Amino acid sequence: MPIIAPSMLSADFLKLGEEIDMINNSEADWFHLDVMDGRFVPNISYGMPIISQMKKRAKKTFDVHLMVVEPERYLEEFKKAGADYLTVHYETGFHLHRTLTSIKALGMKAGLSINPHTPVDMVKDIIHEIDLLLIMSINPGFGGQKFLPLTYNKIRQAKEMIVKARASTLIEIDGGVTLENAADIVAAGTDVLVAGNTVFSSPDPLGTIKKLKQIGK
């Protein structure tokens, strides 16, 4: 059974409280929160003030995905805002080993994300420092994009690397996850499914989350 992490980027921000309650009452496991700076990605979303407000109402793990340059400047602030998992991008870091150990020293789980063009192998030497490996299955920046099929190979490679290293890293897939492709994504070795559009554009979000959760059961 995969961990389900609905992406709040696709929520209705005018009804944010109700959307949070819906996730609280669903079979979802985590809240996936996308922070975008308009520099690492061509879009700007929300930051710490919104996340700390959401934390007051949400009852599940906060999985914060930073799509920002120089993420190491904000680790403590995201901890204060309520992040449980804090994920930075491989492509933004000169000193990722340090950043990952700093995240853990602050009491959070450390995530590392790779864009579609970044080979899985690039994270091999630091795999034991990574609690969550977020493999982007779209080019980050926007919800509602189409899943890139090249991701399947990356999931299999990542799974093999993690097993070989006897690491406990979770594999998370983010972007274009649907009810149609989710079973194949999980079969390839995925532990955590992020779903934005598939959940929030559904006429029955609770039912959609339930279906995602039942995969591989």
Question: For residue 83, what are its two tokens?
Answer: 């992040």
From the list ligand DX5, Zn ion, none, pick the one residue 182 interacts with, judged by a Cβ distance below 5 to 8 Å according to partner type.
Answer: none
Q: Least separation, in Å, of the C-beta of 86 and Zn ion? A: 12
Q: Is 84 in the active site?
A: no
Q: For residue 37, how many other CB atoms are within 10 A of its CB?
A: 18
Q: Which of 34, 37, 131, 191 is catalytic?
A: 34
Q: Are 167 and 127 contacting, i.e. CB atoms less than 8 angstroms apart?
A: yes
Contact yes or no for 65/37 (Cβ under 8 A): no
Q: Which of Zn ion, ligand DX5, none does residue 143 bind (CB under 5 to 8 Å by kind)?
A: ligand DX5
- Cα(88)–Cα(96) distance, rounded to whole angstroms? 9
Please say whether the dihedral angle defined by the alpha carbons of residues 176, 69, 126 and 32, taken in this order, is positive or negative. negative
Q: In DSSP terms, which residues pair with 44 in a beta bridge? A: 37
Q: Which one of 2, 3, 4, 9 is in contact with ligand DX5 (CB under 6 A)?
A: 9
Among 66, 174, 191, 205, binds ligand DX5 (CB under 6 A): 174
145 interacts with, out of ligand DX5, Zn ion, none, CB within 5 to 8 A per kind: ligand DX5
Give the residue with the Cβ less far from Zn ion, 65 or 154: 65
Site for Zn ion in 169-188 (CB under 5 A): 174
Least distance to Zn ion, CB of residue 163, Å: 25
The residue number whose beta carbon is nearest to Zn ion equals: 65
The reply to whether 34 belongs to the active site is yes
Q: In this chain, which stretch among 72-80, 149-157, 180-188, 193-201 interacts with ligand DX5, using CB under 6 A?
A: 193-201
H/E element, 193 = strand 192-195
Amino acid at 99: T
- Structure token pair of residue 156: 């299999």
The residue behind tokens 């929160």 is: 33
48-57 and 16-24 helices, crossing angle to 10° = 50
Contact between 176 and ligand DX5 per CB under 6 A: yes
Handedness of CA 148, 200, 194, 181 (dihedral sign): negative
Query: What does 195 interact with, of Zn ion, ligand DX5, none (CB < 5 to 8 A by kind)?
Result: ligand DX5
Q: Which residues bind ligand DX5 (CB under 6 A)?
A: 7, 9-10, 32, 34, 65, 138, 140-145, 174-177, 194-198
Catalytic residues: 34, 174
